[in-house]
Amino acid sequence: MSRRSCEGTVALVTGASQGGTGTAIALRLAAEGAKVAITARTVAGLEATKDRIEAIGGECLVLPCDLADPDGGRKELVERTVRAFGPIDTLVNNAAVNGYKPFETVSPSQLETSLQVNLWAPWELMCAVIGPMRERGRGAIVNLTTFAAELPPGPPFPTNKPGKAGFVYGSAKAALNRLTVAAASECEGQGISVNGLTPQAAIATPALVAGGWIDEAMYEPLDTMAEAALALCTGDPDVLTGRIAYSLQLLVELRRPVRDLHGEELVAGWQPDDLPAVIARQEANLAERGWPDAYTFGRVHSPRPESPEDLR
């Protein structure tokens, strides 16, 4: 039997209590042999994730914590994980607070909560793990981010409806993206990768499926997100770092087979050869909503002068 890609490693995953992306990533890492510490506010949800991990023979540590509160336990997460499992090899900052409101109606407390969960807590956890990672010369950090952090094209803007521009969520995640690339540059050549991971479209989490929020033209399964996260966690840190990677595009680029959350079966319809058509369908859907060429991330700007004479 071949060695599992995370055998003998320790991972800390935030936001792993709702059966969604955090749970999927934690389960996938455990299936590859990692000991996984998980954190969120909901103890029952964390215990349910732990049960799933232990059912496949993995080891899991439950660490209840309110990441929105600077004094809610997040400062001790790394230390508690190290005491139980040893030094952390992989940090996945998945926990998030979203929500869309017109910018002038956002309260200071709502903005504070978003920044605490989406930016401050990831930064604090990254600071706590980076020293030991540098000492050992290895490590991986993956920060989950969002399409809402991208600058929309315009005018005219596709997000001009009240509350649709994503100020609170998007701005916090845009700052997280900048932190991600800054940390990657400062860790270059040290055996440590730091990447962002964005879902190509809505993730088919149990909550979204149950609520009927999944658009058949704009979704991806949990399996693709977990596989993309695993690829970033286990990739060559000298090559695969500093990315704000989009899940499906990354899997196509790496020609990465997509397996189920147990790492056993290939997921039908979501393999690298299947994904270009899925991406094209999603991009066409966004174009119909006023966002053309959504995954090229271009925007109108002042042209760069070709020569000093152009300025005269």
Check pLDDT > 60 for residue 125. yes
Name which of 206, 209, 236 is nearest 138 in CA terms. Answer: 236
CB atoms within 10 A of CB 112: 12
Q: Which of 234, 93, 98 is nearest to 176 (CA)?
A: 93
* pLDDT exceeds 80 at position 262: yes
Residues 100, 169, 246, 295: which is the catalytic one?
Answer: 169
Residue 310 has pLDDT above 60, yes or no: no
Q: Which two tokens stand for residue 270?
A: 């979501």
Domain boundaries, the chain: 10-311
Lowest pLDDT segment from 7-16, 159-168, 229-238: 159-168
Topology of domain 10-311 in CATH is Rossmann fold (3.40.50)
H/E stretch holding 31:
helix 21-31
Q: Is 295 a catalytic residue?
A: no
Q: What are phi and psi of 181, to 5 degrees?
A: -70, -35
**Amino acid of residue 187:** C
pLDDT band (50, 70, 90) for residue 304: confident
Q: Higher pLDDT residue, 54 or 1?
A: 54
Q: What is the mean pLDDT of residues 27-50?
A: 98
Sign of the CA dihedral 133, 237, 27, 249?
positive
pLDDT at position 213 over 80: no
Is 282 in a helix, a strand, or coil? helix
Measured distance CA(14)–CA(90) in Å, rounded: 11
Residue 84 has pLDDT above 90, yes or no: yes
Residue bearing the bigger pLDDT, 296 or 256: 256
Q: What is the pLDDT of residue 32?
A: 98
C-alpha 277, offset from chain centre: 23
- pTM value? 0.94
Confidence at residue 266, expressed as pLDDT on a 0 to 100 scale = 98
Map residue 177 onto helix, strand or coil: helix
144 neighbors 96 (Cβ within 8 angstroms): yes
According to the model, what pLDDT value does residue 201 have? Answer: 83
Q: For tokens 């079966």, what's the residue?
A: 265
- Average pLDDT of the segment spanning 122-150: 97
Query: Do 167 and 217 contact (CB within 8 A), yes or no?
Result: no
Helix axes 222-234, 21-31, angle to 10 degrees: 50
pLDDT in the model for residue 309? 61
Look at 306 and 157; give whichever has higher pLDDT. 157
pLDDT band at 1 (very low <50, low <70, confident <90, very high): very low
pLDDT at 263: 97
When the pLDDT of each residue in the chain is averaged and rounded to a whole number, the result is 93
